[in-house]
Structure formats: structure tokens, C-alpha cells
Amino acid sequence: MNNDHSDTGAEAGTESGTAATAARTLPVTDLSLVVLIGASGSGKSTFARKHFKPTEVLSSDFCRGLVADDENDQSASRDAFDVLHHIAGKRLEAGRLTVIDATSVQSESRKQLVQLARTYDVLPIAIVLDLSEEVCAARNASRPDRAGMPRHVIQRHRRELRRSLRGLEREGFRKVHVLRTEEEASSAEVVLERRYNDLRHLTGPFDIIGDVHGCRSELDTLLGKLGYVDGAHPEGRTAVFVGDLVDRGPDSPGVLRRVMSMVAAGNALCVPGNHENKLGRYLAGRKVQLTHGLAETVEQLEREDAEHPGFRGQVREFIDGLVSHYVLDDGKLVVCHAGLPEKYHGRTSGRVRSHALYGDTTGETDEFGLPVRYPWAEEYRGRATVVYGHTPVPSTSWINNTICLDTGAVFGGKMTALRWPERELVDVPAEKVWYEPVKPLVTEAPGGREGRPLDLADVQGRRVVETRHLGRVAVREENAAAALEVMSRFAVDPQLLAYLPPTMAPTATSRMDGFLEHPAEAFAQYRADGVERVVCEEKHMGSRAVALVCKDADAATARFGTAGPTGALYTRTGRPFLDDTAMTEGVLARLRTALAAAGLWEEWDTDWVLLDAELMPWSLKAGGLLRSQYAAVGAASGAVFPPAVAALEQAAHRGIEVADLAGLQRARAQDAAAFTEAYRRYCWSTEGLDGVRLAPFQILAVQGRSLAAVPHDEQLAWLDRLVEHDPTGLLQVTRRLLVDTGDEDSVRAGVDWWLEMTGRGGEGMVVKPLGALVRDARDRLVQPGIKVRGREYLRIIYGPEYTRPENLERLRSRSLGHKRSLALREYALGLEALDRLAEGEPLWRVHEAVFAVLALESEPVDPRL
Amino acid sequence: MRIILGQVFLTIGTTGTPERPATDLGFLLHKHPDKAQTYPTSHGSAHVFYPEASAERCTAALLLEVDPVALVRRGKGKGRGGAPDAALAQYVNDRPYAASSLLSVALAAVFKSALGGVCRAMPERAESPLPLRIEVPALPARGGAELVHRLFAPLGWTRVEVTAVPLDEEFPAWGDSRYVRLLLEGELRLADALRQLYVLLPVLDDAKHYWVAPDEVDKLLRAGEGWLADHPERALITRRYLSHRWGLTRQADQALELVRLAESDDLDVESVDNAVDESTDTEEKPVPLAGRRRTAIIDALRAAGASRVLDLGCGQGQLVQALLKDVRFTEIVGVDVSMRALTIASRRLKLERMGERQAGRVTLRQGSLTYTDKRLAGYDAAVLSEVVEHLDLPRLPALEYAVFGAARPGTVLVTTPNVEYNVRWETLPAGHVRHRDHRFEWTRAEFRDWAGKVAERHGYTVRFEPVGPDDPEVGPPTQMAVFTRTDAITTTGTTEKSKEAEAA
């Protein structure tokens, strides 16, 4: 290896040009800013035309023409260069080779161009046409527009050029090609070179290996587990090391030897870590502090010296040749040590290298004196997958298509590899704690073991959450503010709050006599959406409850990081459903037992289950509201009607014309009584768990899987088994009916079923597409459920007298658009939370989506819908 | 046309003789006893009719049909087919049935002349007392039967009969409702009786009304003339008026977002939007212990030499206000999770009217201690006064990390009640916490144990100071921990790292 391979190392390709007689080849990096330097008349434009595409060349003359209608108007130079720099910037930003055709003989003008190249992290390359004054003068003389150019202009250009020649590398040009004669200039060939970091043509498959830190034994084990035999994979896979091969661990030389030989044999690629960088500086004789485990490496290398005197030099050469990052597999994969934002992919500059090696540090230090790292991955939205290491994490997790593979092997964690393109993780545990970490890998705070604890910036203010099923979902500031208060003051530990249920839209308003809601509308809507098979599920009138059931407290600790509870039972705004933790544990225990008896733990290969349910009676949770609002209405109406009706009857008896009023009052007294009856159906007294019933209606997620898209018939089969295996009477089955929306008889059966159920005081039903997660013909998400509430139940919502024809008529003008949109947005956020949970994303990512559901619940929607 | 109708009802009766027939009531009320009449009012139709009308006995009935949908519309002043941003409680409630301010307003509208004591036909009868019998079958009475007695008894009634209405006879455990049936008998001027009802019905109701406009409240106040001044419960009556008015302003800044979250979970708004108790520790009614706490906190901050201070959980801003008085505190940041608390704090501090220089020293903003918050880093000191006990214990580690691990001020002051002292509070029933939102209260040993572990985990030292009288047996009412960051952490690692970064 030599310096040529270093993307930002010492400059290469400088040509003296003195002895050149044969045709010169001029290497030019494929993404670079090529600056042609030469006096007026030295043939720059001719050279550019010959070697580059017309669109790649930006000429100052052309830009003068653009701004001043005269290519030779020197007074327009400043504006012309503004335009030139702007266009060049746009091209470089887009990753396009750009050639600057201007004299560029003054260091000041070149400085701006070098700066431009740095801004866009590309290499500045100089091609100098150092031709004699006579040649230049002759060329100018042959051009009508330049024929009159005074000789002293060329002379001045030549003087400035001669002065500059020596310092071009120092100015920042990474390649300097000087052409001295007309023959040399006309015979030279420009050869485009791929950037060293551009290995898009290599498609693997790869095994990307996280930080090794001198843990040779673990590395050998991991390579073995990945299928490598003596540094080579029988199926031709390529290992890719993310750097930090050395320091802290017991055998850095052994690791280096292994990796160097694999790289030399073409079986591996390696990017440098900050530890290699520092070791390189040490080996180059620079003064570095022997901290952070470098002392151990130095000592190990000294022991090597006796046996393998040349090894030290090989290491130095190896490190010098490392390229800061690689773009692989057709641009789909980027590997580097500390992560890289998309704008740096495939770029070459000091800061790209610095980011690749050290990450983005904020300049602050944390409580352990370590630099605070800017969480670049949280903002990453790039197309390429970025695989990196550098920051030890207790376990790997995908964040925005990036993954950190440093799982702290040297600190007693594990060594992790990622199979690409399979995206499979393979790891081996550390054999021991080889080095005590300065700061514990795990922060005690919630979320700490998954990268970092929850941060206010994850939830506060106006936010946009990216969802897989509905794109970007926005949360407004005032809604986030209300959610923050409720989440902070009343919710269960966010670690246990992996999901909040979405709101559900009611069916389109019915025009049928006496009904505000009727199932016919729901069936028609799904039919219009192209959903043929729907399931009607009985709506239990209780309170929504989400249950997280873990096998035991240890399982809860292992997966959710809590200490103590075996799960959680919470309401639709995340509050603990029951104040009494012992009662909560009682419910969880019964669920756990039923799950075990039904064999579902094994079937799902999980030790936790998240499920959605309705908990009854309604009075258990809503007791306060019932007393202050619903029963109060009943009590007041019950007290006022009898004397009022009696007074009217008395007056009528006297012959006063009050018959209409009396009749009306009697009817209203009946409505009020019906209202009282309506809420009473959902109230009964309970003692401990006696009288409490839980009707589960969806299994949301288990270890590694979101089950939210599992068709409802499968769901109900699981749930029936669960209920069947509960001997305590807590679990209640949800009655259901399958309806074919295209079949009149089936639809009629569905309507009859609803009429029968609500006629007996049932709350109503929810109609769901059997396929659960369904899109319509236009690829839009279909409502996951539509509620059809019973006629009597709706008195609780719309008031005792809503069924009077004139009232119904007015209520029918209700508008459902916002509610439907809200239901879909919350649904998508809920799915997103479950997907993130299943994929093992860090807590803050799951919480972001859960929090957004809560925030949306405070949007202004007609509360009666 | 009024559509969704409710009904509010009362009867006014009197007795008479052939010389002074009871039917004179018709003249006094300006309503003919043999007609049923209907009047539009702002909340629905009011019907007046007479169930009985003879020389011996005459009773007038006022029946108000309330339109709750109209109420919602009046309240919000917008919305088609039901204002979408209204709260659910506005749709289904007792207003159509209970004799509240709505009836009071209808009373004033329908019996305007009688209320004013005007009767052209028989002015002398209007001026003299009548034997009256008034019945209100559903009177919302906060304070119960006992208060109803206290309000009406001093006003000259010979019989004040109050019967509680049960919430739901099927659920006796729920107890009585807030309604009573009221029967009044006595010899009073009709105008006085009507004015009393006009004022006292809403006083007893004492509910927050989303829909009562301020000018109606002013009308109520005027009607108190003549009898209110000497009423033994004048203070209560006046206070409830004021709180009624307060309710109006409250509604203006009540975050409807929070109301919706409460309703989506079948909860009373009050059980969610309760971060601040506006009735305690106000400027008018300072709580002595709170004052001592602030003194102790400010002394500790001065001793620590702090000038940039965080008040985490600043509530109504009392401490921020006190800190502003000392110019050594150059930057004061009040943080609370409750938007309502911040609104009240801002009002208390008169931030809008404060001079630029002083206002520049103070910032109020929403934040939550269960999340790390970059904006809290770099301060000299943080105060958590009576904050930790408002958090469920399982969420305390998050607060611990956010404050001691992430924000890391030089000094942290934590005050919390000492539960051992509770036996010394005469008004506090045994086993009760001091505030209904306290999720726990610690003994001195428990607090010290927690604080000691926190200090150890995060590189702080901690000492404890009593606040309030230090009882030899049970300790002080408030305990305070003063944490000081040890700062002995290696800075060498830092410089090394940054050098590496520079070299790259």
C-alpha cells in the first residue's frame, strides 16, 4: 500500500513535467473541482473542450457574457465569478465533476475555489498550463476579440503564475498537473479515477464486523461463527471491519495481523477507527498520550518487535493506507467507523474523514468527561444504509436505516457482525471484561440502555413523525404541550407504554328513521373501499385497556428495563388502569396463566405479549365521571319531571290550554328515564377482581413481531383459545359475525345481528376489514374499524332526547371528515410504534410515535363522534 | 324552533282570603292565572302557567325548556351542527333539569316587573309581605342541605325544607346527588323572594358555566342590593360570585386540549388539569410554611453563590418572584409541565408589564423532568421545591437522570414533605397525604436514603436541612437536601479527546 490510497493523505500525482516527452496521463478524481490555471491565451478553453464534457466546464468568460453581454468586460468580473461560484457549488453539491476555466493565476482567486471544494467535500485538482509568453500572445492574436490585448497583461499573468507554482499543494490542491509546452498540452490525456471510497461495484455479500479492540479470541470466534475458515469465506463473502481494531484489549497485534492478512488477500475491507488513527500517529513518531488503552497496544507491539521486527512498519503502512469510509453495493451501503450523514457519502475532505473517525461531537463533555456526541443518526434520512461502530451500546438497534455495531466486546459486552444484504445480526459474547469502561454502558434512566434516555426534543413543539403506512404525520405544538403534561404526570413508565390505541371513526350517518348510526352504512363504506370480507365484533361497553404481559418480572426487566412489575395495564391515555398495583398484577397473572395454558408463549416464541382489550364494568374506571355527569343528569331529571308533569296535569284539569306542553313533558320524562337505563347497563359493583371482566380483541405485538396486521379471524382464534384457558372468569369472549359486503343476505344478517344485540342494550359493534391492515384500490389506507353504536347507547353521548325526529334531523348534519382523518393518523402512528418496538428500535423512537398518538387525541374533533 | 329540550321548573304559591284573594298573585307576577303563556329567553322557552288558582290558593309554575345545543353554541359562538371544539360535558349535562343560573336568568326575564317590585294594579300588595310557598324540585346545591339552610334561614322564611336527591337509587353506594328539593314557606314581599332566588340559585349551583356571559354576572351582582349586605353568609355568597367570574376567565385559558384528553379517557377535567391549586398560597393568602421554604431555598442558593438558577416545577411562580427581588440572581428559569401553571405564573409576575432589564432575567417555559432537556444544562443551581412527590415512584429514576445526570447544575436543592410530621397537622386526617396529587410522602430516613444514592451515582455530595420547626420527635414539616456537584471528575480525558478531534 502507499499513500495513493489515502483519500486525504499526502497529495499524489504532482508532476515536475521537466523531462516529459511521451504523452502524459493526468489522473483526475471522478468527483473533484478541476481548476485550470494559465495566462490568457494559454489554451485552457481548448484543453477543457478536449478533455471534459461541455456541461462540466464553467468558464469565467461565459459568465461575464451572462451578466454583462460581453465576455471581455473586465468590470463585470466580480459578478461573473459570483455566478460561476454559485453554479459550481450547485454542481458539486449534486456530486458532479466541475472544471473551472478561468485564468486563476492569482492565489486569491484560487483560494475561493479551494474553499468551494471544501464546502462540498470534494478534492480540488489543479491543471496548470505554463506556456510561454510567445505562445500565449500568438493564440490571443488569432482571436479577434482578444487581438488587441496588451502584451503586459500576459506578462503579468505569467509572473503571477510563476510565483504560484510552488505553493499550489500548500494551497490545498490534492493533485497538481503542470503542462509546460504546447506539445505536452496537446498530447496529454485526462484519466478519470474512481474515488478510493467508491466501491459501489463491490456487491458482497459482506459481513460487517463491529469494534474489536484487541479482542482476538472473540474475533476468531465471531469469524468462525460467520463461516470464515482461516480468514477466508468458502462462499466468497467479504468481511468489512468498521475500525477500532486496536487498544484496550489483550491482543491488538494479533487482531491486526489477522485483519491485515485478510485485507491483503482481498477477503476483507477495513476502515480506520479513531484508535487506528492515533496508533498511526504514534507509529509515525508523533507525540500522543498513551491513554484510552493505547499503552496496552504499545506494550504488545514492543513484545512483537523482537520476534517480528518488520511488523511495526507493516502496521504503519496498513494504517496509512486506510480509507475513511466505503460506499458499497451499488451505493446501498456505507461503512465507516463513527457514522456519516448522507451529504458526506462518497465525499473526500478533512471533515468527512473527521466525522467518519470521530463522529459529530458537540464540543461539550458529559459527566464522565467524555465528549458529547451529536446524535447524527437521529436526523439521518439517507437512502444508503450506514453501518458503523465507535460508540459502545448495550445492544444494537436500527435507527433511520443506520446501525451501530459496537456492542462493547472489550468492556465485557459482545462482538457483533451484520450480514449484508441479509441484515442478520451475529454476535459472540465477550470472554471477560478486558477493560473497565469509564462510564457504564447502560444509563440507569429509562431508555438509557437503548442508546439514550428520552429527551424533551423527541416530543416537544411541532413535530413530524415518519410512519411506514401513512408517511409523515404532523403533531401541532399545542397538542404536544397537552400530551406532555398528561404523559409526564399521569402515564405509566414510558418503557412499558409501547402503544396507545387510536381513536375510531363512527359509521357514516344513517338517514334511516329513528337511527343516527346503522350498520348498513358501515358495510356500504367498506364495500366502496373494495373490502369484501369484514368482521363485526361486539363492542363491549367498558373502558379501553392495553395490557403488557411479561412471563415474569425478569422478562420485563430484560426487555423493557423496568424493575419490579411484570407488565402494565393502562388506559387510552396511558394512565395506570387500576390504582392498586396488586390488582394490576392480579389481572396480569390471570392473563399470564391463560397464555401459558393455551400454549401461546411457545407458539409465539416470546416472553412478553402486548394486547388490546376492553375492561368492564365501565363504572370501574369512569365512576367519577358517571357520578358527576351521567347519574347527575338522571338524578336531576328524575327529581324535576314528576312535579312538573303533575303541575301541568293540574292546570289542564282547570281547563288551561297546556295539553301539548304536558304531552311533551311526559315524553321527555320517558327519554330521561331511558337515558338512566342506558348508563345503568354498564355499571355494576365489583369487589377486588370479582366482577371485573376483560375482553381482549387484538394481540398487538410479541417479541420481534408486530401482529397488528394479522387478519382478524386468526386473531380471534388466538383470543378464543386465550379466553377458553382462563378458569377465573376474568376473560370474556368477543362475539363476532363475518359479513360479505357484496352479499345482500350476509349484510342483512349483519344488520339483524346488530339490531338484536343493541335491542338488548348492547353498546353496538365495530366493523373491521377481515384482513386488518388493508389498502383500497387507490392504495390509500382503509379505516381499520368503524363503530356502529346502538340507538339506546347513543343517548349517553347525544343526550336523553336525541331520538326525537327533529333532533335527529339536526344531528345528522354531523361532519365525520376530521374524525376519520384523525383515526387513520392515530392508527398509522400506533402501527409505527409497534413496528419500531418489534424491530428493537430504541425507546425514544417507540415513544415518539406513542406520544404523537396522545397528542393527536387532543385535536379539536366533535367529542360525540 | 327549540329542538333538544330540557326543563327547569319551580313553583311559587300563595294563600288568600275572599278579601285578599290568592289570585292577586297573577297581578303581582303580571301573568294571568287562567292562561298558559310562553316567552322566549336566551336559553330556551319559558312557560308560565297556574296549576291552581282560587281565592284560597294560587300557584304559579315557571317551566324553562333549556336547549343544550343552543347553550354550546352560545358558549363557543361558532360551529355548524354542533361546535366541534366544545367539550363533551357541554352536550350531556344537568343544565336542562337543574335550577341554576339559567332559571335565574329566565326568572328575571319573565318576572321582570315583579322582581323590581313594580305593580301598577295593586302597588300596596307589592309592597307588603305575602304568605309564600316556593318549591324548587331539583336545585343543585354545592354545600348540601346545610348550606341551603344557612342561606335561606336568615332571610325571613319560617320553613326551609331541604331534601337530598339520591344519585341513583339502583346504586345506593353512590350516595346523594348534588341536588336537593327545596321548599320555602314564609311571609315575604314577592319581589324580595324573587331576588333572593335570582341570586342564590346560581350561588348554590356554583358550577363553572361555559356559557354565562360576564354581563349576566353583573346583573346578578346588582340584584343583591337590599338584603345581601346584612346576610351572615355574605362572604360566601360574594366569593362564589367571584369564583363564578373567575370561572369565566378560567375558561378562557383552560386548555381545551387537556379537556379533550381527559374526556377521551372518561375522566373529569379536574382530575387531569389540576397541576396548580389556585386557591392556595396566593398573594392574598400566603401559606406560612411555603414562605419558610422559600427563605430556606434562597438562603441556600446564596450560600452556594448561585446566580443562574432553574426553578424546576415552578408552579405558580412564587419562588421565581422571590428570586427576582435579589439582583444576584441574574438568570432565573421557571420550568413547569403545566401550561396553566405557567400562565398563572406569568400573570403573577406581570411579565408583560415588567421592565426589559428585569424581564430579561426571567424565562418561563414548559418542560418535563421525566425527559432530559438540553436547555437545562449549564446552570449554577436547580431547585426542585415540592416536586418529587408529585411523580409516581417508578418515574423518579427518569427525573434523577434528567436533573443530576444530564442537566448537572452545580447545586441542586430538593424539598419534600416529611411524612413523619403529618401527625402534627391538626387538620390532616391520619394516614392522609398533604395534597391529593402527592404520589408519596417520605420519612426523613427514606428521603436521606434516596438522596444519598442519587448523590453517589452522579458525583454529588449531599447535606440535609430542616425547614420549619424541627420537632424533636418527628422532625421538621419540610425536609431539604442540598446537593453539591463534586466536580473532581477528570478533565484530562476531555482535553485528550478534543486534541484527537483537532488532529484529525
Does residue B82 register a pLDDT over 60?
Answer: no
SS3 A548: strand
* Residue A840, min C-alpha distance to chain B (Å): 21
Average pLDDT of the segment spanning B154-180: 90
Q: Which of B458, B462, B466 is nearest to B489 (CA)?
A: B458
pLDDT at B436 over 70: yes
Residue in A456, A642, A815 closest to B368 by CB = A456
| A456–B372 CB contact, under 8 Å | yes
Residue B4 has pLDDT above 90, yes or no: no
Alpha helices in A292-430 (DSSP H): 294-307, 311-320, 350-358
Distances (CA, A) of A528 to A62, A391, A523, A531: 60, 52, 9, 7
pLDDT at A207: 96
Contacts of B482 (CB under 8 A, 6+ apart): B300, B304, B411, B412, B413, B462, B463, B464, B465
B7-211 fold: c-terminal autoproteolytic domain of nucleoporin nup98 (3.30.1610)
What is the pLDDT at residue A141?
Answer: 87
Contacting residues for B402 by C-beta, under 8 A, at least 6 apart: A445, A453, B369, B370, B371, B372, B373, B376
Q: Is the dihedral of CA A106, A111, A117, A121 positive or negative?
A: positive
- Which stretch of DSSP H or E encloses residue A485? helix A477-490
CA separation for the pair A402, A388 (Å, rounded): 8
Examine residue A421 and say whether the peptide bond preceding it is cis (omega within 30 degrees of 0).
yes
Look at residue A192 and tell me whether its pLDDT is greater than 80. Answer: yes
Name residues 509-548 of chain A within 8 A of B (Cβ).
543
Q: SS3 helix, strand, coil % of chain A, rounded to 5? A: 45, 20, 40
Q: Is B402 on the interface with A (CB under 8 A)?
A: yes
What is the distance between the alpha carbons of residues B329 and B305, in angstroms, rounded to a whole number?
9
**B221: amino acid identity, one letter:** L
Report residue B293 CA to chain centroid gap: 25
Query: Which chain A residues are Cβ-neighbours of B165 within 8 angstroms?
Result: 635-636, 638-639
- pLDDT tens digits along B281-337: 665 566 788 889 999 999 999 999 999 999 999 998 999 999 999 999 999 999 999
Contact present, B198 and B96 (Cβ < 8 Å): no
- Quote the CA–CA distance of A828 and A820 in Å, as a whole number: 12
Helix or strand (DSSP H, E) at B276: none
Write out chain B residues lying below 8 Å of A281, CB-based.
503
Contacts of B166 in chain A (CB under 8 A): 635
Task: Determine contact, residues A500/A853, Cβ cutoff 8 Å.
Answer: yes
Q: pTM of the prediction?
A: 0.76
C-alpha cell at position A142? 488569432
- Please tell me if residue B50 touches chain A, with a CB cutoff of 8 Å: yes
Those residues with Cβ within 8 angstroms of residue B40's Cβ, 6 or more apart along the chain or in another chain: B46
A820 touches chain B (CB under 8 A): no
Q: Of the candidates A183, A170, A165, which has an alpha carbon nearest to the alpha carbon of residue A37?
A: A165
Q: What residues does each domain of chain B span?
A: 7-211, 271-499
Convert the pLDDT of each residue in A445-461 to its tens digit.
666 666 678 999 999 99
Give the pLDDT of residue B232.
86
Say whether residue A484 is in contact with chain B using an 8 A CB cutoff: yes
pLDDT tens for A214-235 read 999 999 999 999 999 999 999 9
Subunit contact B398:A446, Cβ cutoff 8 A = yes
Tens of pLDDT, residues A300-327: 999 988 888 889 999 999 999 999 999 9
pLDDT digits (tens, 9 = 90+) for B95-151: 666 656 677 778 888 888 888 888 888 888 888 888 999 998 888 888 888 999 999
Residue B501 has pLDDT above 70, yes or no: no
Closest residue in chain A to residue B397, using alpha carbons only: A445
In three-state secondary structure terms, B156 is coil
> Which residues have C-beta within 8 Å of that of residue B432, sequence separation ≥ 6?
B422
Distance CA A516, CA A513 (A): 8
Helices (H), A498-566: 519-528, 553-560
Over pLDDT 90: what percentage of chain A? 66
Q: pLDDT tens digits for A562-613?
A: 888 999 999 999 999 998 999 999 999 999 999 999 999 999 999 999 999 9
Check CB contact under 8 Å for A482 and B81. no
pLDDT of residue B483: 96
Indicate whether B209 pLDDT > 50: no
Farthest-apart Cα atoms in chain B, separation: 114
Q: How far is A546 from chain B (nearest CA, A)?
A: 13
Q: What is the mean pLDDT of chain A?
A: 90
- Name the helix (H) or strand (E) containing B250: helix B234-253
Dihedral, CA atoms, B303, B305, B310, B312, nearest 10 degrees? -20
Whole-number Å distance between alpha carbons of B427 and A720: 53
Alpha helix locations (H) across A681-803?
712-724, 744-759, 794-798
Residue type, A653: H
Q: Which of B134, B111, B21, B123 is nearest to B64 (CA)?
A: B111
pLDDT, tens digit, 9 for 90 and up, residues A128-180: 999 998 899 988 888 888 878 888 889 999 999 998 888 999 999 999 999 99
Residues forming a β-bridge with A123:
A32
SS3 A361: strand
With a cut of 50, say whether residue B490 has pLDDT above it: no
Q: Which of A289, A322, A489 to mutate to test the interface with B (most CBs of B within 10 A)?
A: A489
ipTM of the complex: 0.81
CA atoms of A843 and A845, how far apart (whole Å): 5
Residue spans of beta strands (DSSP E) within A119-221: 123-129, 175-179, 189-193, 198-199, 206-209
Inter-residue contact B496 to A291 (CB < 8 Å): yes
Q: Provide the pLDDT for residue B178.
A: 84
The answer to whether domain B271-499 has CATH 3.30.420.10 is: no
Interface contact B206, partner A, CB < 8 A: no
Does residue B11 sit at the A interface (CB-CB below 8 Å)?
A: yes
Residue A242 confidence (pLDDT) above 70: yes
> CA angle B372-B375-B377, nearest 5°?
80
Pairwise CB contact (< 8 Å): B394 & A448: no
Report yes or no: A193 and A174 within 8 Å, Cβ to Cβ: no
Do B7-211 and B271-499 have matching folds? no
Dmax (CA) for chain A in angstroms is 132
pLDDT at res. B80: 32
Chain A nearest CA to B83, separation (Å)? 7
Q: Mapping DSSP to helix (H, G, I), strand (E, B) and coil, where does residue B188 land?
A: strand
